[in-house]
Amino acid sequence: MSETTAAQPSVRRTAAHDSAFLRACRHEPVPHTPVWFMRQAGRSLPEYHKVREGIPMLESCMRPELVKEITLQPVRRHKVDAAIFFSDIVVPLKAVGIDVEIKPGVGPVIADPIRTRADLQRLRPLEPEDVGYVTEAVGLLVDELGDTPLIGFAGAPFTLASYLIEGGPSKGHERTKAMMYGEPELWAELVDRLAVITAGFLKVQIEAGASAIQLFDSWVGSLAPDDYRRSVMAGSAKVFDAVAGYGVPRIHFGVGTGELLGLMGEAGADVVGVDWRVPLDVAAGRVGLGKALQGNLDPAVLFAPTSVVETKAREVLHAASALGTSGHIFNLGHGVSPSMDPDALTRLVAFVHEASAR
């Protein structure tokens, strides 16, 4: 057993252990295909906008009672099979002292980007007391959710590095790639420090009661496979290895990562998320045996008539069933759009449950 997993405490076993979601993650028989949605906690829900009115995003992530309410809202409304912890990928960066702000309509903005070796000193390991509000919020949620599992989450090292280097969102990730290609030793140290911070953030959530975790790598689809293997994979693998001893399912998801799916599976995930660009049977071949799949309805389909949504959802379910495995979790191929009709999501959950149970 590796040094990172040897001394980890046992995980709090919750009533969710035998839920359809966790059984699917473990390739066990399920009564129906479990379904949840990325970015389901808020975004399109009017009740979300009401409770968050006047409260900045990062502040809302630091109020345990508010986090509990927002996380529970889609579970109540849609009857999804899992809750996703309401937070943001830059929360652990804020917690270790990085000056970051989430600007409406823009996204995370870093006041002083990380560009030199001296800048790395600002990235210290995250301690549980840095995010006491996370421990409290997860505890409140696990007590309230009962047999519905809670998914913890964090941003992957590459995506966090991109925000830190660019100073905010970027389409081309030019500064990020310039460091990765031109200063590989500096890049490797940055990714390693971020892996330690990310692993610490996930450990806090797991030890407080999260039943699974998902690592989001929003921007990694901008890389070629060789660059991923050479410069990024070790960081993600370090995160997954650090939490392996807890025994909770580990999900890995990125956008536009069709050519990286096999490598993302190799990094250590138990479940690999698939966006809508790659059919599930093709994804299964790339990921290989032993991994569950999550996905992969195109989010834009939800804006079409209900009959179309059901036809496309049935196609996803059929593709998954053709693989001959119970290891499928229905999800969108990316997150819920802010302008999406919440009722369309509710209807989709009911349809997936009914169609897959038959």
Q: Is 5 a domain residue?
A: no
| Residues in Cβ contact with 121 at an 8 Å cutoff, skipping those fewer than 6 apart | none
Q: Is 70 a domain residue?
A: yes
pTM value?
0.94
pLDDT tens digits along 192-236: 999 999 999 999 999 999 999 999 999 999 999 999 999 999 999
Element (H, E) at 162: helix 157-166
Q: Is 7 a domain residue?
A: no
So what's the pLDDT on residue 8? 57
Q: Is 341 a domain residue?
A: yes
Q: Is 10 a domain residue?
A: no
Q: Is 112 a domain residue?
A: yes
Q: Is 84 a domain residue?
A: yes
- Contact (CB, 8 A) for 78 and 349: yes
Catalytic residue numbers, as ranges: 39, 43, 52, 88, 163
So what's the pLDDT on residue 13? 63
Domain that holds residue 217: 15-357
Q: Is 301 a domain residue?
A: yes
Task: Report the chain's mean pLDDT, rounded to a whole number.
Answer: 94
Q: Into how many domains does the chain fold? A: 1
Share of the chain above pLDDT 70, in %: 96
So what's the pLDDT on residue 21? 98
105: left (phi over 0), alpha (psi -120 to 50) or beta: left
pLDDT tens digits along 161-183: 999 999 999 999 999 999 999 99
* One-letter amino acid of 82: A
How much is the average pLDDT of 325-330?
Answer: 91
Instruction: Report the CATH number that the domain containing residue 145 is assigned in CATH.
Output: 3.20.20.210
- Contact (CB, 8 A) for 267 and 229: no
173: left (phi over 0), alpha (psi -120 to 50) or beta: left
